[in-house]
């Protein structure tokens, strides 16, 4: 059983539907007993970093997740904001995160960067890249990982975000994506995995990634 953590923020049911589609047993929960009994954890998230931290603590999940991930060593997959919460700190709300990954979360700093002519994949507003980064983009693999097994790295994944992780330890970087400049789009440290994109919205490639996580 996989626990999809409910802390009041995120597209929980999209993740659950995708897990059902790949026939993986999962439950949306914030219940301590259910989380303790699950073999793996998915931490989704959409919204404001500091608000997410507050909601996780309000529900008594902060210390529980630390225990399950760091002490018990359960595999966890952070999605979008869920990945960002694994960093030490975020500019969004000047808030501290879990600190599981040696990284900070920063806002895109591309307001003055101009697009290369002919790159139709990127959204333009008055000659500038739009923030948030919304839409489909590819990954550039930095290192091999079972998370990307049987996935064509030319596949496009769906992104929606204004902030991204900046890793201090390059060993934690699995993949990068270019939006104005390269940013970290997937991380791993031991049993901890995170992706900036939404695999639950990324068609076959996202489905395969979730299968790979289930099979870790």
Structural domain boundaries of the chain? 2-214
**Tens digit of each residue's pLDDT (9 = 90 or more) over 87-108:** 999 999 999 999 999 999 999 9
Measuring CA to CA, which residue among 147, 139, 133, 142 is closest to residue 180?
A: 133
163-181 pLDDT tens trace: 999 999 999 999 999 998 9
β partners of residue 107 = 163
Q: Rounded to two decimals, what is the model's pTM?
A: 0.91
**Is it the case that residue 128 has pLDDT exceeding 80?**
no
The pLDDT value recorded for residue 177 is 97
C-alpha torsion 200→142→127→133, nearest 10: 20
Mean pLDDT of 140-167: 96
The per-residue DSSP string of the chain comes to -EEEE-SS-S-HHHHHHHHHHTT--EEEE--HHHHHH-SEEEE---S-HHHHHHHHHHTT-HHHHHIIIIIS--EEEEETHHHHTTSSEETTTTEE---SSSEEEEE---TTPBPPTT-TTS-EETTEE-SSEEEEEE-EESS--GGGTT--TT-EEEEEESEEEEESSGGGEEEEEEESEEEEEEEEETTEEEESS-GGGSHHHHHHHHHHHHT-
| Residues noted as catalytic | 80, 198, 200
pLDDT of residue 124: 46
| CATH number listed for the domain at residues 2-214 | 3.40.50.880
């Amino acid at each position: 059983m996989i626990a999809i953590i409910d802390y009041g923020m995120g597209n929980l049911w999209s993740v659950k539907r995708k897990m059902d589609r790949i026939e993986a047993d999962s439950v949306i929960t914030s219940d301590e007993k259910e989380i303790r009994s699950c073999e793996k954890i998915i931490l989704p998230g959409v919204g404001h970093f500091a608000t997410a931290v507050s909601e996780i603590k309000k529900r008594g999940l902060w210390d529980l997740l630390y225990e399950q991930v760091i002490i018990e060593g359960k595999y966890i997959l952070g999605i979008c904001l869920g990945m960002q919460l694994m960093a030490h700190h975020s500019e969004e709300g000047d808030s501290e995160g879990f600190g599981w990954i040696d990284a900070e979360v920063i806002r895109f700093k591309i307001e003055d960067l101009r697009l290369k002519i002919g790159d139709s994949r990127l959204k333009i507003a008055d000659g500038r890249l739009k923030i948030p980064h919304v839409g489909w983009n590819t990954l550039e693999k930095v290192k091999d990982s079972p998370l990307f097994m049987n996935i064509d790295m030319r596949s496009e994944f769906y992104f929606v975000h204004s902030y991204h992780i900046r890793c201090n330890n390059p060993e934690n970087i699995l993949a990068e994506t270019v939006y104005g400049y390269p940013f970290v789009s997937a991380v791993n440290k031991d049993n901890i995995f995170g992706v900036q994109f939404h695999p639950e919205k990324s068609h076959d490639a996202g489905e395969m990634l979730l299968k790979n996580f289930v099979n870790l």
